[in-house]
Amino acid sequence: MLSVRLDKEMQEKLDNLSKATRRPKSFFVKEALKSYLDDLSDLYEAEKRSNDKDRNLISMKELEKALGL
């Protein structure tokens, strides 16, 4: 269980969206949090890979050739 305090503007937006779609507010909170966590995980993975000294980089020309472009 998690309790979150929202500012008035965000609460009103969530209330309006919930009423308009007939979905519970928790649905939108879960979806937003899932999306944010997925994006954050992708960012951390990209940073980890970009800092990996053993990464294997190729030039744009090599990539285009490998893809047949």
Q: What is the pLDDT of residues 12-68, one digit of tens each?
A: 999 999 999 999 999 999 999 999 999 999 999 999 988 888 888 888 999 999 999
Q: Check: CB of residue 46 under 8 Å from CB of residue 35.
A: no
Nearest to 10 by CA among 28, 35, 37: 28
Joined together, the tokens standing for residue 17 give 């969206």
Model pLDDT, residue 1: 86
> Where do the structural domains in the chain lie, given as residue ranges?
8-51
Rounded Cα distance, 57 and 67, in Å: 15
User: Sorting pLDDT into bands at 50, 70 and 90, what band is 7?
Assistant: very high
pLDDT at 54: 85
